[in-house]
Amino acid sequence: MRVCFRSSVKPSQIPEYRRRHAAVWPEMLRELKAAGWNNYSLFLADDGLLVGYVECDDFDAVRARMALTEVNARWQAEMATLFEDEAQAPDQGFLQLTEIFNLEDQLSAANAAEDNPQPQKEQS
C-alpha cells in the first residue's frame, strides 16, 4: 500500500530538523527497512508542513513494528521538541491522507477496460 501523511515542524526548528534528517542514524535506517518502510520519503515546506510518503504492507503494522525498537524510542524522544504537538511522539501525530488518484492504478484499469470491452446493451 502507498501511504501519505502530514505533520508540522515548528518553523523555528526547521534548520535543526533538516540537519538531523541529513544524517539519520544508520541503526534507525536499518530498523525502518526491517520493519517494512519502503520507498520512504519526507518533504518539508518552509512553513513547517511535513509530508511523508511510504510504501508498506500495512501502515499500522509497520508503525507498530517500529514502536517495539529501542532506537525508535530514542529517535522519537530526540525529535519530539521539533514538532508543533509535543504532547505525543512525532510518529504518533501523523495525519494520514486519503489517496484519491494514482496514475498507474487508473492506467491499469483503463487498459483492462479497453482489452475487455463490455457489450453494448441494445436500446429500445
Q: How many residues does the chain have?
A: 124
Which domains are assigned to the chain?
2-115 (3.30.70.100)
pLDDT number for residue 102: 94
Alpha carbon distance 9, 99 (integer Å): 23
Q: Which of 18, 21, 33, 74 is catalytic?
A: 21
2 has which bridge partners? 55
pLDDT digits (tens, 9 = 90+) for 92-110: 889 999 999 999 999 999 9
The pTM for the full model equals: 0.83
pLDDT digits (tens, 9 = 90+) for 12-71: 999 999 999 999 999 999 999 999 999 999 999 999 999 999 999 999 999 999 999 999
Specify burial of residue 53 (Cβ count, 10 A radius: 0-12, 13-18, 19+): middle
Residue 21 bears catalytic tag: yes
Alpha carbon distance 118, 22 (integer Å): 52
